[in-house]
Chain A
Amino acid sequence: MGIRIGVIALQGNIEEHVQAAERVLAERDGGEVIPIKHGGIVPSCDALIIPGGESTTIGWLMEREGIASEIKAVAEVKDIPILGTCAGLILLAKHGQIERTKQPLLGLMDVHMKRNAFGRQRESFEALLDVPVLNGDKFPAVFIRAPAITSAEKNVQVLASLDGYIVAARQKNLLALAFHPELTKDMRFHHYFVDMIRYDSDFHPA
C-alpha cells in the first residue's frame, strides 16, 4: 500500500507543499498527498506536513476544526513523522512567546522558539546551510519572517544552525525547519522526511 501524506491545508503555503510532496513520492514508490482542512483525516495518514503561513491563524483554526487534538494523538501514540516548516515549527514547539499571543501550540517538541527571529518581511533572505544529515552540497534555504529555535533539550538532534539559532531540528518523529524547503528545487529535506516514514527502523519497527 502506498504512503499517505497529509498536508494541513488551513492557511499558507499549501499548494507548494502538496506539489513538493507529490514530486518526492513520484520519484520513489508513489503514494498520495491529501490536503487536510477538517477533522477526521489525520488518523489515516502515515505522515503529516504543517506548512508555513501565519501560526496564529493556523493554530486557531486547527483547534476550531478539531485537527490539533488529532495531531497530538497521532504524534504521541502512533509516532508518525510530522514536518513543520516556518509557522509549522512554531506550532510544534513546547515553549516560547505563548503568553503574549495566547495562541494554542501543539507543544510536541522540547524546544524554545522565537517568532520572527531574523526580523520582519524586508529582512527575509536566502542562505546556504550546512546540513550534515543531507549528503552533498549545502542546502539552499529560504527564510521569510522566519522563526527559529533558541534552545533545545538533549533529546533534540540539531540538524542545522544559523547566526546562533537552530534552524533545523529533529526529535524522534518530529522534524522542524525554520525555512521553506517547498520553495526550492532541492528536494533532499522532503526525501529525508519520507525516509522517516519507511526506512527508519528506530521509529517504525518492522
Chain B
Amino acid sequence: MQKGGVIMDVTNADQARVAENAGAVAVMALHAVPADIRKSGGVARMADPQIISEIMDAVTIPVMAKVRIGHFVEAEILEALGVDMIDESEVLTAADETYHIDKVGFTVPFVCGARDLGEALRRINEGAAMIRTKGEAGTGDVKEAVRHMKKIMGSIRGLKGMNEEEQMKVSRELEAPFELVKETAEMQRLPVVNFAAGGIATPADAAMMMRLGADGIFVGSGIFKAEHPDKMAKAIVEAVNNYDKPEVLAEVSKGLGGQMKGLDIHTLSENEMLQTRGW
C-alpha cells in the first residue's frame, strides 16, 4: 500500500519518527545512509537486527530493510524479525555474483532495483513485489534514476501493438520471460509497482520522477543529509502529491536550508558505481 508515497532511509528510531511525522509511507532501516556507506567503503551488509527492531517498535508505518544481493540467509533473518518488506539491494555488497535470491519461497514481499525492463522483469519473475530504479544511490545526483526510469517506460511503450511473435523476440533480447513481457505489453505498465530511487535529493527531483511515471519515491541520503531533515521530508511528501503543480512545488521548495551536498556521478570510477551490482 505504498503507492503514491515516499519511503525514507533511516538509521535509528528518532529518524524513523521524524519520517513518520513527515508523512512517509514506510521507512528503510539501515546502519548508515548510502552516502556514508559510499564514503566508508568496505563490505556493506544487512543492518544490525537490534537497530531494525528498535525502528520497528518506534513507528506504526511499515519498516523495510536491505539485504545483500543473493544473500538468502540475511533475508530469512529479516523475515524472522518481521520486517514488512525486504530490499535486495545493490547499495550493499553483493553476496552472489550470479544469482539473486529466489524470492517466491518467502512470505515477506521484496523490492529490487532495475536499470531496464529486462532487469525489472527478471526480478519480478524471481518474486519481487515491487521494482525501483537503481539510480546511483548516495550521490544526490538524479540523472541515473532519470535514465533508468525513461529506459523502462520507453521499453514498455515500445511493446505497444506488437504481436506475439515480436513479443517473443523482445523476450529473448531482454532475457525476460515471455509471459511477463506479454502482460507488460497488455497492461502498458510493469505488473508490480515501480518506484524511483537513487540520487533523489529535493522536492523537485521527486516531482520529476513522478512526472516520468514513477508510482512513488525512495529518498535515501537526501533527507538526513539535509540541514533540516524534518522540513525536507515534509516538502518531498508534499511534492509527490503535487508533482504536476509547479506553483505548489515552488512553495514547498522555499527555505528548506542546506541540501545534501552530493556527488556528480561523472567523478566516480566504474568500480565505485553501485548500480552495476546485480544482473
Contacts and interface: CB of A to CB of B under 8 A. Distances in A.
Query: Nearest 5 pairs between A and B by C-beta?
Result: A121-B84, A11-B4, A60-B23, A54-B25, A57-B23
Given A61-B23, A61-B241, A102-B21, A122 B60 contact: no
A11 B3 contact: yes
Contact of A53 (B3, B21, B56, B79): B3
Contact of A121 (B109, B241, B242): B109
Contacts of B109: 121
A144 to B, nearest CB: 6
Q: Per DSSP, are chain B's interface residues mostly helix, strand or loop, or mixed?
A: loop
Contacts of B241: 10-11, 37, 61, 65
Given A53-B1, A116-B60, A120-B82, 4 more contacts: A54-B1, A57-B61, A86-B1, A121-B109
B3 A56 contact: no
A24 to B, nearest CB: 21
A12 B26 CA distance: 12
Interface string A1-20: 00000000111111000000
Contacts of B185: none
B53 to A, nearest CB: 12
B23 A56 contact: yes
A10 B238 CA distance: 10
B192 interface: no
Contacts of A102: 21
17 contacts: A10-B241, A53-B3, A56-B23, A57-B5, A57-B25, A61-B23, A61-B238, A64-B238, A86-B1, A87-B1, A101-B21, A116-B60, A120-B82, A120-B84, A121-B84, A121-B108, A122-B79
Contacts of B190: none
B237 A57 contact: yes
Nearest to A9: B4
A60 B26 CA distance: 14
Interface of B: 1-5, 20-26, 56, 60-62, 79, 82-85, 107-109, 237-238, 241-242
A61 B237 contact: yes
A97 interface: yes
A115 B1 contact: no
Contacts of A64: 238
A12 B1 contact: yes
A121 B21 CA distance: 21
B237 A144 contact: no
B194 to A, nearest CB: 14
Which among B2, B56, B79 has the highest number of chain A CB atoms within 10 Å?
Answer: B2
Contacts of B242: 37
A31 to B, nearest CB: 24
A51 to B, nearest CB: 9
Given A120-B84, A121-B85, A54 B2 contact: yes
A116 B2 CA distance: 15
B172 to A, nearest CB: 32
A133 B3 CA distance: 32
A100 interface: yes
Contacts of B85: 121
